[in-house]
Structure 1
Amino acid sequence: MSQKPEDTFQEDLAASGVAPARRGWGARLGGLFRRRAPAAAPPPVGGGGRWRRTILLGVGGLVILFVLYMAVGAFVVHTVDDDPDFAVASPLANGSKAVEIAAALIERETGDAHRWTANDPFFLPGSLLDNMPNYQQGIIYALSRFTAEMGDQIGRSRGSSQVDPDLDRATGLLRYPGTIWLFDLSTSWAPTASSESQYRAAARALRSYNERVAAGTAPFERRADNLLQTVDRFAADLGSQSSVIADHIEASRGWLIDTRADDIFYSTKGRLYAYFLVMRALGQDFDGVLAQSGATKIWAEMVDNLREAAELQPLVVMNGRADAMFQPNHLAAQGFFLLRARTQMRELSNVLRN
């Protein structure tokens, strides 16, 4: 059968590379109205991405809360309590006022009014503090010297007699390091006694001794030679601390930033404050001896100088040159009052010897 002319024409177009036309007008119009396929929708975000964002937001929130907790907590905890009017509310009749104020001061700094901050671990706000821990450790150091003198001098009837067990125990406990928390990894992995628990045990030992003094069953020798030895030991300790201040001033004065100056300042301040309270109370315990020796006025002046030195509390401790116009030297100012009090202690020693 012979091919139609139309079929022959289409075959010739195909052979020449030209696309054949659609057959009929309906096919052409149908192409105009053919519905296009919709665009592919983006794949939904998986659940893992949402969880990652939630975890990151949660961790960030916890970090912010921890920073706020540490900063605000450190501000709340920080207290350098140098109240010159601190006293025992109900003093023990016939007991030693000096022993009683020492026990009360230990209890105040280890939980009754303030928390002990020198041993706070890194996750507690007190670990950010610097001045308060040095101040508290300075107080304990001075009180350990006082209890040692009590055991060696005032708390013994004579030099060859036995040391009072409560005073001996208190002295040992107050020499416990102030930086021990519930663990001391330098010695053992096992839990150990914290610094504040040891110091509070020392306060109980002092109260036990004072109760026996009030009952007349423990010695408290109100003699001039005992007071003389105690004053001399305190003066020697202040002389040693003045040397620390002088050496630091000489080595680093004029530095714009001196991170060690405030450590020395507040450690010395703690010693001076404790000595001020103890010496004021000893003046009441030995009022008869002082009056008989004519040393009452010198004693009062010495106590006043200790108070002035203990009350120094600059906003920022600076260690400038002694002749600086705009940068003071707070260590030098503190050392002046310290040496003045020490000089008056030496005068007291001379008066008590006569």
Structure 2
Amino acid sequence: MWPKRLSVSFGLIGRMGLGLLLLIALYIPVGMLWVHTIDDDTTVTPTEVPAGGSRAVAMAATLIERETITHRWTANDPFFLPGWWLDNMPEFQTGIIEALGRFSTEMMDQIGRNRGSSQADPDLSKAVDLLKSAPDIWLFDFTTSWAPTTSSDAKYRSAAKALRNYNQRLGQGQALFERRGDNLIALLDRITSDLGSASAVLDKQILAGREVFIDRRADNVFYGVKGRLYAYYLILRELGVDYQQLLRDREAFNAWTQMLESLHEASLLDPLIVMNGATDGLFAANHLATQGFYLLRARTQLREVSEILIR
């Protein structure tokens, strides 16, 4: 028979072990609930907008900082962190960064320089390069090196800093922001093209869903496109303020507002379960098709704005 003291010790160790196992079992699911955030707040406003700066550029920096600091970046979480087990939030965050990367590229090529006659702005160029970084790089990227590396979210935060530096210089008259119609048209055309690519992704997944009973990728595609549409809504809303005088002078303000309304509706789509049913089905909805409707309507309205600005 075990001595009483030894028996008590084994009992304590057993309870501690059981508690540890319970903690481990709850860590992932509770952590997932704690971390998971699809922040599609369309009332968010840009922070740190300097006098004479661009509200759209400030909004891009604000979104990056929110997704990498306030909510933390989840797309590069390793398997032992709760974020690794999520899929919708990483897709949403990645969609936002993809849209901001496109916007930053067009800022560098079309608006932040005299087209074809000047060098690219150094801060915009830096932001573009950083936003091209893959979203899933953690502290190590063993595909390139065994040494520690800069994580995706750290690079994105550096991109936000570069955008804010550009905006500060713009407010001080040391950077360019072309407010001509042709520069804005070029940017809108690139966004229109990107929305076309997003539409193709939706169409491909809708077709793929017909071949399976339960489409497990529908939600990934939905939230990736949702993140892109959400970011474009906020960027274009603030770009409308930056170009307010031009839009009013060209009588394009009403068309611009209608385009924003379509993007706003698309941004707020939030089904409890993303379904990819038959587009003419009676019982199962197709949320990808619904999202695609608003996307294509916004894309058509963007083209209408461009046509008005050309006149």
**Contact kept? 1:120, 1:126, Cα under 8 Å:** yes
Superposition map of 1:1-354 within 5 A: 44=1, 58-111=16-69, 113-253=70-210, 255-354=212-311
Equivalent-residue separation in structure 2 for 1:345 and 1:303 (angstroms): 9
Q: What SS is found at the alignment partner of 1:316? A: coil
Q: What SS is found at the alignment partner of 2:150? A: coil
Counterpart amino acid of residue 283 in structure 2: F
Q: Percent identity?
A: 54
Name the Cα RMSD after superposition.
1.8
Offset, 1:186: 1.5
Offset, 1:56: 6.1
Gaps of 5+ in 1: 1-43
Offset, 1:145: 0.3
Counterpart amino acid of residue 234 in structure 2: L
**Contact kept? 2:111, 2:178, Cα under 8 Å:** yes
Offset, 1:255: 3.9
Q: What SS is found at the alignment partner of 1:180? A: coil
Q: What SS is found at the alignment partner of 1:294? A: coil
* Structure number with larger C-alpha Rg: 1
**Contact kept? 1:255, 1:319, Cα under 8 Å:** no
Counterpart amino acid of residue 83 in structure 1: D
Offset, 1:325: 1.7
TM-score, normalising length: structure 2:
0.95
Q: State the match for 1:19 in structure 2.
A: none
Counterpart amino acid of residue 213 in structure 1: L
Gaps of 5+ in 2: none
Equivalent-residue separation in structure 2 for 1:118 and 1:48 (angstroms): 48
Q: What SS is found at the alignment partner of 1:87? A: coil
Equivalent-residue separation in structure 1 for 2:108 and 2:227 (angstroms): 22
Q: For CA contacts below 8 A with separation 6 or more, give which structure has more relative contact order.
A: 2
Offset, 1:128: 1.6
Q: What SS is found at the alignment partner of 2:58? A: helix
**Contact kept? 2:91, 2:223, Cα under 8 Å:** yes
**Contact kept? 2:109, 2:115, Cα under 8 Å:** no
TM-score, normalising length: structure 1:
0.84
Counterpart amino acid of residue 72 in structure 1: V
Q: 1:284 to 1:243 in 2, by over 3 A?
A: same
**Contact kept? 1:254, 1:321, Cα under 8 Å:** no
Equivalent-residue separation in structure 1 for 2:306 and 2:17 (angstroms): 64
